[in-house]
């Protein structure tokens, strides 16, 4: 009997040791001197040496990638999941609604807001508990309040991912505890973050350093887990994350002047590396890039090119050779895009179009490309389309040309 009790005690101690690790989420024993990490990382070389398994820096204005490492690989995302959770809540709930905490919510492990079964709290305060202290209990409570259950809420998350074109992301929970079918990519997480930050309430929540929630009428002050918020110039959000499967994760929004970026690091070995990598990438982006007005540049080049190529096209069997061209309206040219500073003095454009076409030519027919580059480095590329129609000569056209003394440029069309 004593031997059995001894084995039971050993098993109990073992479970105590492994359970926090199995369900860890934003609970880190490691403490760092954030200001020292920032100071050291901001002096890094121009091309950053990154510890994180995957990362990306995305320009919010143009959605261009400024730096990437395995940015399209599927990986676990830990509590950065809660970016999607918050958006689903904000788009489907009244924030002043008071809800009651279920037993399931109260029993959720990992990082917690500290909810107990039967507690009363508003949706708004749950959102602050979700995003500031990364409460997994708050995540489950929100999911149950909005959709009735975690699986039903996950369906809403996946539907939103499809709507946003996040084809390499899949959600199984509102909190992000490790699961093989719960994943995203650094790039798609940046796109999701960019979408979320357009919501004023979300923007305000993730930019809050400290906030006091009310649970059962009693106040509780929360602090944001984002170590860069309030410490690195320009940072205004958005979310940390940590599980054993995902390692340390951080999504950061930073704006300086007119440049606004999102930095995502996933899979850093330590909190120190997470901070260093984020600072290195952010400093690299602001030191390396500046905005270039590509819309004005491209539009001026198009006008100049058409003025200097008035008789560029020969349209076989066409009623005319006077064809107008345009850029594809689906290109969605940002007025300005980030370009490496060293490339800007040597930016040039080229148009590649076959001048010999066959009638008929219809509006929006693809004709060629306009390429913007510098020193052999591609900056942007745009499709060029027909902006007019050239119909094919018919019998009556040939008769008219014959009796009028057809123009020489149509000789090959007639004979």
Given 41, 52, 54, 79, the catalytic residue:
79
R_g (Cα) of the chain, nearest Å: 29
Given 41, 102, 134, 278, the catalytic residue:
134
> Which residues does residue 121 pair with via DSSP β-bridges, in sequence order?
99
- On whether the CB atoms of residues 12 and 4 are closer than 8 A, the answer is no
- On whether the CB atoms of residues 189 and 266 are closer than 8 A, the answer is yes
**CA–CA distance, 357 with 318 (Å, rounded to integer):** 9
The reply to whether 278 belongs to the active site is: no
**Nearest CA among 112, 109, 113 for reference residue 212:** 113
Strand, helix or coil for residue 288: helix
Q: Residue 22 to residues 52, 173, 246, 353: CA-CA distances in angstroms? A: 21, 16, 12, 59
Quickly tell me which residue has 């900056």 as its tokens.
379
Quickly tell me which residue has 């004593």 as its tokens.
2
Strand, helix or coil for residue 282: helix
SS (H, E, C) 385-411: EECCCECECCHHHHHHHHHHCCCHHHH
Which tokens is 49 given? Answer: 């040496």
**CA–CA distance, 117 with 105 (Å, rounded to integer):** 8
Cα of 20 vs its chain's centroid, Å:
31
**CA–CA distance, 158 with 154 (Å, rounded to integer):** 6
**Nearest CA among 48, 62, 106, 6 for reference residue 334:** 62
List the beta strands (DSSP E) in 7-166. Answer: 54-59, 65-69, 98-100, 120-122
The reply to whether 388 belongs to the active site is: no
Helix axes 82-90, 123-131, angle to 10 degrees: 160
- On whether the CB atoms of residues 224 and 234 are closer than 8 A, the answer is no
**CA–CA distance, 104 with 116 (Å, rounded to integer):** 10
Q: Could you count the other beta carbons within 10 Å of the beta carbon of residue 46?
A: 9
- On whether the CB atoms of residues 272 and 54 are closer than 8 A, the answer is no
Helix axes 150-163, 82-90, angle to 10 degrees: 90
Given 76, 82, 276, 280, the catalytic residue:
82
The reply to whether 79 belongs to the active site is: yes
* Active site residue ranges: 79, 82, 134
């Amino acid at each position: 009997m004593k031997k059995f009790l001894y084995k039971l005690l050993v098993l109990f101690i073992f479970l105590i040791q492994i359970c926090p690790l199995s369900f860890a989420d934003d609970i880190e024993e490691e403490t760092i001197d954030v200001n020292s990490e920032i100071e050291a990382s901001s002096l890094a070389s121009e091309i950053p040496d990154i510890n994180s398994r995957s990362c990306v820096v995305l320009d919010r204005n143009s959605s261009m990638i400024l730096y990437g490492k395995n940015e399209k690989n599927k990986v676990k995302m830990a509590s950065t999941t809660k970016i999607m959770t918050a958006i689903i809540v904000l788009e489907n709930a009244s924030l002043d609604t008071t809800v009651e905490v279920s037993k399931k919510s109260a029993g959720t492990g990992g990082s917690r807001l500290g909810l107990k079964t039967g507690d009363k709290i508003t949706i708004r305060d749950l959102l602050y508990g979700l995003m500031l202290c990364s409460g997994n209990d708050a995540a489950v409570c929100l999911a149950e309040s909005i959709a009735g259950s975690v699986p039903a809420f996950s369906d809403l998350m996946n539907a939103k991912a499809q709507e946003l074109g996040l084809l390499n992301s899949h959600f199984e929970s509102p909190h992000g505890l490790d699961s093989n079918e719960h994943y995203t990519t650094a790039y798609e997480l940046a796109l999701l973050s960019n979408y979320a930050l357009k919501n004023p309430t979300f923007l305000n929540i993730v930019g809050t350093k400290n906030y006091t929630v009310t649970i059962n009428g009693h106040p509780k002050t929360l602090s944001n887990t984002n170590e860069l918020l309030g410490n690195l110039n320009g940072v205004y959000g958005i979310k940390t994350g940590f599980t054993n499967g995902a390692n340390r994760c951080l999504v950061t929004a930073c704006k300086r002047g007119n440049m606004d970026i999102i930095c995502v690091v996933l899979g850093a070995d330590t909190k120190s590396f997470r901070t260093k990598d984020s600072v290195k990438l952010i400093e690299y982006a602001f030191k390396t890039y500046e905005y270039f007005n590509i819309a004005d540049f491209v539009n001026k080049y198009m006008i100049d090119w058409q003025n200097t190529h008035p008789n560029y096209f020969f349209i076989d069997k066409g009623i005319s050779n006077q064809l107008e061209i345009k850029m594809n309206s689906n290109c969605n040219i940002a007025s300005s895009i980030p370009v490496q500073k060293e490339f800007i003095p040597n930016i040039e454009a080229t148009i590649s179009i076959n001048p010999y076409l066959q009638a008929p030519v219809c509006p929006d027919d693809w004709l060629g490309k306009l390429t913007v580059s510098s020193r052999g480095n591609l900056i942007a590329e745009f499709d060029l389309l027909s902006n007019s129609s050239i119909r094919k000569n018919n019998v009556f056209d040939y008769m008219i040309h014959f009796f009028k003394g057809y123009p020489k440029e149509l000789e090959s069309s007639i004979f």
